[in-house]
Chains A and B, each alone.
Chain A
Amino acid sequence: MDRADALDMVKEAISSVVPGAEVADLALDGEFREVLEMDSLDFLNFVEALSEMSGVRIDDEDTPRLTTLSASADFLVTHAR
């Protein structure tokens, strides 16, 4: 998986759990949870979607790293087989 693919997956996962989110407008290094007012359930759904799309296992301990689009994409690239 290259980084562009990873970034697309992160964006798609966000749109799938926050309908109507303007994902294209999100800053790469902005904290999307705050911007989109995602609560813990939204965030869990995001992790679930992202894990399913990428095939990368995301443990609870990893989730604090998924704060921005960039960080989430980096995480996927690092952990993809």
Chain B
Amino acid sequence: MAEFTMPSLGADMDEGTLQEWLVRPGDPVHRGDPVAVVETAKSTIEVECFHTGIMTKLLVEPGTTVPVGTPLALIEASEKSPPARQAPSEGEHAERAAPGDVREPPGALGAAPAPSTLTPRTPDHTEAGPLARRAAESRGVDLGSLHGSGPGGRVTRADVEHAAADRPGTGTPRTRVTPFARRLAAELGVELATVTGTGGNSAIRASDVRRAAPGSPPAVPAPVAGAVPLASSAPSPSGDRTGAMRQAIAALMSRANRDIPHYYLSTTVDMAAATDWLRAHNHRSPVGERLLPVALLLKAAALSAREVPDLNGFWTEDHFTAGDGVHLGVAVSLHGGGLVAPILHHADALPLSELMKVLKDLVTRARAGRLRGSEVSGASITVTNLGDQGAESVFGVIHPPQVALVGFGRVVDRPWAVDGLVGVRPVVTATLSADHRATDGAVGSHYLEAVARLLQHPEHL
């Protein structure tokens, strides 16, 4: 029997609040499936499980705050994977949508797993713009099943609307509801039929119910004190959330400044080649495939980390351990204040178009509070990019246990000498904050030189 425990979702996390279960006892689970929603001081994270098998027992009620490492559920591991997941049949939908909360498995433990009722995770490789995606979400249309009529097979909003209209039984859309959301709806007096689900396959989740609850302001999760068992440890209202976020950042950054002897380097990079290449690329690409300068900067940062591995990894117990790949944390500022740093895994190997797509998705979900556990922990180096409205340079604080933080300021036009002549060129200030315990300035310089060199050949990024 394997335990599913409260994961550590970053160096700054000591405890987390189990907000919602996404599975029920008896459900088959696969390694990598999101099974629970955990709220930390900084964000709300969908947590994946590390085992494949049957979820046999949920040990912790939603609303409970427990320390990292506390067992949350038991999974009976299976030798071989449960049957491949398929789209659930009508009957299974009805069964799954039946009233009632967390139930015991239908058969005795060890009985053959029931045919999977989990939603197949939609592979996110369908080309569709934000409008089409939003329309698909609100109408419960699976983007992967559509043939796009837009340029390059791109799914447009019209495609989604046609699909929604053509679907049999449109009048009574199937509703999928997570158990916690169902209970919350009952307690708050929310009619589920009026709620738009934002979960996988438009499943209605607790946060959707809270948003639909009478008197709750749109898009701001209302406090749920009293709505869940153990109300004293229920997730905090959004006002406290900002405070909690500040405290988490304060604790981590204070620790970083106390423990890490930082050294700082800076270099100015000519961005003429990169911006010219970008302009030409964007001119010939449909709007959905356009790139921003940040894509080039992140890719150059990742490739340089591969080239200078001493900066890519972790300082723990008085020694450096190299990362097992370049997992680039990207600092994302949240609109309500605060920061999260979701991760571009193996960013050095991602083609620019893919990197851009993953980045858009991560940033959107980071701001909507919908990241997964694997997307927030384990970065081997972090980049902070101020974008086109920020300052010219940034010297960041390293995110422990990492040993380096790369900063990019705004791309600005400046006088610049080329071949003995002064001209106006777009330039960017690239900076490095690095841990002097792990490396010296020579290594750091090597890194920034690599970044500057790579950005002169954007076509090879």
* Alpha-carbon distance A44/B290, docked complex (angstroms): 8
A52 at the B interface (CB under 8 A): yes
B335 at the A interface (CB under 8 A): yes
Q: Which residues of A contact B359 (CB under 8 A)?
A: 41
A17 contacts B157, C-beta separation under 8 Å: no
Q: Which partner residue on chain A sits nearest B220 by CB separation?
A: A20
A47 at the B interface (CB under 8 A): yes
A40 contacts B294, C-beta separation under 8 Å: yes
A59 at the B interface (CB under 8 A): yes
* B interface, size bucket: 20 to 34
A34, A40, A47: the one within 8 Å of B388 (CB)? A40
* Alpha-carbon distance A60/B130, docked complex (angstroms): 18
A18, A20, A39, A60: the one within 8 Å of B387 (CB)? A39
A53 contacts B131, C-beta separation under 8 Å: yes
Q: Which partner residue on chain B sits nearest A46 by CB separation?
A: B130
Q: Which residues of B contact A70 (CB under 8 A)?
A: none
Minimum distance in angstroms from A39 CB to a CB of chain B:
5
* Alpha-carbon distance A17/B294, docked complex (angstroms): 19
* Alpha-carbon distance A60/B279, docked complex (angstroms): 7
Segment 37-80 of A: residues with Cβ below 8 Å from B: 37, 39-41, 44-45, 47-49, 51-53, 57-60
Partner-binding segment picked from B281-289, B374-382, B426-434, B452-460: B281-289
Evaluate whether A16 and B130 lie within 8 angstroms (CB atoms) in the complex, with A41-B292, A44-B292 already known.
yes
* Alpha-carbon distance A16/B364, docked complex (angstroms): 11
* Alpha-carbon distance A58/B129, docked complex (angstroms): 14
Q: Which residues of A contact B389 (CB under 8 A)?
A: 33-34, 39-40
Segment 129-143 of B: residues with Cβ below 8 Å from A: 129-132, 134
B134 contacts A16, C-beta separation under 8 Å: yes
* Alpha-carbon distance A36/B335, docked complex (angstroms): 8
A19, A45, A52, A57: the one within 8 Å of B360 (CB)? A45
B131, B150, B294, B367: the one within 8 Å of A16 (CB)? B131
Q: Which residues of B contact A53 (CB under 8 A)?
A: 131, 157
Minimum distance in angstroms from B264 CB to a CB of chain A:
25
Q: Which partner residue on chain A sits nearest B135 by CB separation?
A: A16
Q: Which partner residue on chain B sits nearest A55 by CB separation?
A: B156
The B interface is mostly helix, strand or loop, or mixed, namely helix
Interface string of A7-38 (1 = CB under 8 A from B): 00000010011111000000000000110110
Minimum distance in angstroms from B130 CB to a CB of chain A:
5
B363 at the A interface (CB under 8 A): yes
> Which of A34, A36, A52, A60 has most B Cβ within 10 Å?
A52
B129 contacts A52, C-beta separation under 8 Å: yes
> Which of B150, B359, B368, B387 has most A Cβ within 10 Å?
B387
* Alpha-carbon distance A16/B130, docked complex (angstroms): 7
Q: Which partner residue on chain A sits nearest B285 by CB separation?
A: A60
* Alpha-carbon distance A47/B364, docked complex (angstroms): 15
* Alpha-carbon distance A41/B150, docked complex (angstroms): 22
B218 at the A interface (CB under 8 A): yes
B219 at the A interface (CB under 8 A): yes
Q: Which residues of A contact B156 (CB under 8 A)?
A: 52
Minimum distance in angstroms from B369 CB to a CB of chain A:
10
B132 contacts A52, C-beta separation under 8 Å: yes
Q: Which residues of A contact B283 (CB under 8 A)?
A: 59-60
* Alpha-carbon distance A34/B335, docked complex (angstroms): 12
A47 contacts B287, C-beta separation under 8 Å: yes
Q: Which residues of A contact B287 (CB under 8 A)?
A: 47-48, 51-52, 57-58
Minimum distance in angstroms from B275 CB to a CB of chain A:
10
Segment 199-257 of B: residues with Cβ below 8 Å from A: 218-220
* Alpha-carbon distance A17/B363, docked complex (angstroms): 11
* Alpha-carbon distance A47/B282, docked complex (angstroms): 13
* Alpha-carbon distance A57/B293, docked complex (angstroms): 21
A33, A34, A49, A60: the one within 8 Å of B282 (CB)? A60
Q: List 29 A-B contacts (CB under 8 A).
A: A16-B130, A18-B335, A20-B218, A39-B387, A39-B388, A40-B293, A40-B388, A40-B389, A41-B294, A41-B359, A41-B360, A41-B363, A41-B387, A44-B360, A45-B360, A48-B129, A48-B130, A48-B287, A48-B288, A49-B131, A52-B131, A52-B132, A52-B150, A52-B156, A52-B157, A53-B131, A58-B287, A59-B282, A60-B283
8 tightest A-B CB contacts, nearest first: A20-B219, A52-B129, A48-B287, A60-B282, A40-B388, A51-B287, A49-B131, A39-B387
What 13 new A-B contacts, CB under 8 Å, besides A39-B389, A48-B129, A52-B131?
A: A19-B219, A20-B219, A20-B220, A40-B388, A41-B294, A41-B387, A44-B290, A45-B360, A45-B364, A49-B131, A52-B150, A58-B287, A60-B282
